[in-house]
Amino acid sequence: MTLDDILDRLHVVALPMRVTFRGIIVRELALIEGPAGWGEFGAFPEYEAPEAAHWLAAALESAYRQPPPPVRDRIPINATVPAVDAERVPEVLARFPGARTAKVKVAEPGQTLADDVARVEAVRALIPTVRVDANGGWTLDQAVEAAMALGALEYLEQPCASVADLAELRRRIDTPVAADESIRKAADPLAVVRAGAADIAVLKVAPLGGISALLKIAAQIDIPVVISSAIDSAVGIAAGLRAAAALPDLRHACGLGTGSLFVEDIAETPAQEDGYLPVQPITPDPARLQALAAAPQRRQWWIERVRACHRLLPR
């Protein structure tokens, strides 16, 4: 596919969010309407071109190549709870009907461990299985303290930033440790597994360069895999569902229910049923693409970003 062809197929949208998530209240991303379907390029604005190019590769794969054959037609989904006050937890969880697992954001800048404990306890009162995601926000000692304070958890996701700290943390606590950033931001995504630093691998389609790249990594590790989103629109979520559907083994609920965090998405998405989402293609609604289109200067910013990333893709 040529750069001109990609740009001719580009739509840039700005999706307002219900709550601030990862410091974002409006999610900008570019969508590519290709011959095989739709692809999503949503690398966060602070990512430089070498990292963002993986996200573009994932978008192009979805737009220009057929997905792998599925082995399941629905995927268990976890509820996602941003770093909101504990009293807002029921409101958030109401958007995840039937979910039996919840992922709770913790270690938010400006908040305390007491805030995290209150939020987790509010979730635990409504959903039986709870996992937390610190996005590498704790030191090793803070992670040990948090594991003690937060009680029984399915796992701690990326509690510390470094692989060495993750490995040491596993020796100090009984709670399983999951790696996210240590896989998707690493030059060698398998290093964290070889170091014995994770019990579970959290894999995301876009940062890893596409469904096929994700499945290749999953095939080379001997720990369970959880597929998660990167605050994706319905198009990106569909890619995550297709990846999860192609895994030979899927033991844990996936973090692919984040579409409910948007005030409005680019397509009418299927509702969760009994904690599951169906695996099916998504076609954006033309009216929504127009209504949610980013401002002209932001569209141009994304065009230039596509140009910069496209130069870095293998030929």
pLDDT in tens, 31-68: 999 999 999 999 999 999 999 999 999 999 999 999 99
Known active-site residue 105? yes
User: 3-66+286-311 adopts what CATH topology?
Assistant: Enolase-like; domain 1 (3.30.390)
All structural domains of the chain with their residue ranges: 3-66+286-311, 74-278
Task: Name the percent of the chain lying above pLDDT 90.
Answer: 91
Known active-site residue 103? no
- Confidence at residue 298, expressed as pLDDT on a 0 to 100 scale: 98
Confidence of residue 184 (pLDDT cuts 50, 70, 90): confident
Average pLDDT over residues 248-274: 92
264 annotated to a ligand binding site: no
Task: Name the percent of the chain lying above pLDDT 70.
Answer: 100
For residues 76 and 56, what is the distance between their CA atoms, to the nearest angstrom? 27
Model confidence at 22: pLDDT above 80: no
For residues 75 and 129, what is the distance between their CA atoms, to the nearest angstrom? 17
How does pLDDT run across 217-252, given as a tens digit for each residue?
999 998 999 999 999 999 999 999 999 999 999 999
Overall pTM surpassing 0.85 (yes/no): yes
User: 74-278 adopts what CATH topology?
Assistant: TIM Barrel (3.20.20)
Question: Which residue has 């071109």 as its token pair?
Answer: 49
For residues 217 and 201, what is the distance between their CA atoms, to the nearest angstrom? 10
115 annotated to a ligand binding site: no
91 annotated to a ligand binding site: no
How does pLDDT run across 65-94, given as a tens digit for each residue?
999 999 999 999 999 999 999 999 999 999
Same CATH fold assignment for domains 3-66+286-311 and 74-278: no
**Which ranges constitute the DSSP H helices of 105-249?**
113-124, 140-150, 163-172, 181-184, 191-194, 205-208, 211-219, 234-246
**Which ranges constitute the DSSP H helices of 41-187?**
49-64, 89-93, 113-124, 140-150, 163-172, 181-184
Which residue in the list 103, 185, 204, 216 is annotated as catalytic? 204
